[in-house]
Amino acid sequence: MPNQIHTKLLLDKIIHGKLIHTVLQPIFNLSSNRFLGFEALSRGPIESALESPQYLFEAADLYNCHQQIETICIEKAIESFAKQSLPGKLFLNMTPNFIVCCLANLGYLKQLLHRFGLTGNRLVIEITEDNPAKSIEDLKNTITLLRSLGIQFAIDDLGAGYSGLIQWSKIKPNLIKIDRYFVQDCDQDIMKREFLNAVLRLADNTGAMTIVEGIETQAELDSVRALGITFAQGFLLARPEVNPRLTMPQVLSTPKKHYSQFGFANQQTVSLLLNKIKAESWDTPTRSVMDRFRNNKTLYTIPILDGVKVIGIVMREELMEHFSQPLGHALYDKKPISALMKTDFIVAESDMPIEELSRMLTDETRLEARTPFVITERGHYIGIGSVRTLLRKITDAKIERAKHSNPLTQLPGNVPIDKEVDALIASKQAFSMAYLDLNHFKPFNDQYGYAKGDQVILMLANLLKQFQSTHPCFVGHIGGDDFVIIFYEREHAIELNKLITRFNESVSDFFSQSHIQAGGYPGQTRSGEAVFYPLLSLSIGLISPCLKSCQNHHHVAELAVEAKKYAKQVSESYLYISPKRIPDSLAKPSQTVSAPLPPYKSEIPRLASHASSHVKASPLFV
Helix/strand/coil (H, E, C) string of 208-258?
CEEEECCCCCHHHHHHHHHHCCCEECCCCCCCCECCCCCCCCHHHHCCCCC
Write out pLDDT tens, residues 358-396. Answer: 767 765 544 455 578 899 988 889 999 988 888 888 788
**In the predicted structure, residue 266 carries a pLDDT above the cut 80:** no
Task: Identify the burial level of 332 via C-beta atoms within 10 angstroms of its C-beta, where 0-12 means exposed, 13-18 middle and 19 or more buried.
Answer: buried
Rounded distance, CA 241 to CA 40, Å? 10
485 within 8 A of 436, measured Cβ to Cβ: yes
Please name the residue ranges forming H helices in 303-413: 316-324, 328-332, 354-363, 387-403
Calpha distance 304→341 (Å, rounded): 8
Per-residue pLDDT at 263: 62
What was the pLDDT predicted at 3? 63
The closest alpha carbon to 404, from 488, 487, 477, belongs to 477
User: Would you place residue 611 in the very low, low, confident or very high pLDDT band (cuts 50, 70, 90)?
Assistant: very low
Residue among 414, 430, 403, 427 nearest 554 (CA): 414
pLDDT score recorded for residue 602:
31
CB-CB contact of 88 with 25 (8 Å) = no
pLDDT at 469 over 90: no
pLDDT value for 367:
44
Model confidence band, residue 355 (pLDDT cutoffs 50, 70, 90): confident
User: Which residue would you say has higher pLDDT here, 259 or 438?
Assistant: 438
Average pLDDT over residues 271-280: 91
CA nearest 412: which of 368, 337, 354, 465? 465
pLDDT-based confidence at residue 259 (cuts at 50, 70, 90)? low
Flag whether pLDDT at 481 surpasses 90: yes
CA dist 481 and 454 (Å) reads 9
Average pLDDT score over the chain: 84
Q: Which pLDDT value is given to residue 582?
A: 93
Residue 592's pLDDT is what? 56
Q: pLDDT band for position 517 (50/70/90)?
A: very high
- Alpha-carbon distance of 332 to 18, in angstroms, equals 44
- Report percent pLDDT > 90 for the chain: 40
Rounded Cα distance between 221 and 244, Å, is 21
Q: What is the DSSP letter of 576?
A: E
Confidence of residue 616 (pLDDT cuts 50, 70, 90): very low
Where residue 162 falls among pLDDT bands split at 50, 70, 90? low
Instruction: State residue 604's pLDDT score.
Output: 31
**Confidence tier at 260 by pLDDT (50, 70, 90):** low
- Given pLDDT bands bounded at 50, 70 and 90, which one contains residue 609? very low
To the nearest whole percent, how much of the chain has pLDDT over 70? Answer: 87
> 282-308 pLDDT, tens per residue?
999 999 999 999 999 889 899 999 888
Please give the domain boundaries of the chain with CATH numbers for all domains.
4-253 (3.20.20.450), 270-393 (3.10.580.10), 407-614 (3.30.70.270)
Average pLDDT for 484-490:
85
What is the spatial distance between Cα 611 and Cα 622, in angstroms, rounded to a whole number?
18
User: Does 220 have pLDDT greater than 70?
Assistant: yes
Provide the pLDDT for residue 622.
38
pLDDT reported for residue 79 = 95
Confidence label for 447 from pLDDT (cuts 50, 70 and 90): very high
Residue 483: pLDDT over 90: yes
Any idea which of 93-107, 156-170, 231-245, 515-529 has the lowest mean pLDDT?
156-170
**Can you give the pLDDT at residue 486?**
93
Indicate the range of 457-471, 525-539, 598-612 predicted with least confidence.
598-612
Confidence of residue 612 (pLDDT cuts 50, 70, 90): very low
- 403 has pLDDT over 70: yes
231/614: higher pLDDT: 231
The answer to which of 123-127, 195-199, 230-234 has the lowest mean pLDDT is 195-199
pLDDT for the residue numbered 511: 94
Amino acid letter, residue 254: T
In this prediction, residue 491 has a pLDDT band, given cuts at 50, 70 and 90, of low
Cβ atoms of 550 and 582 within 8 Å: the answer is: yes
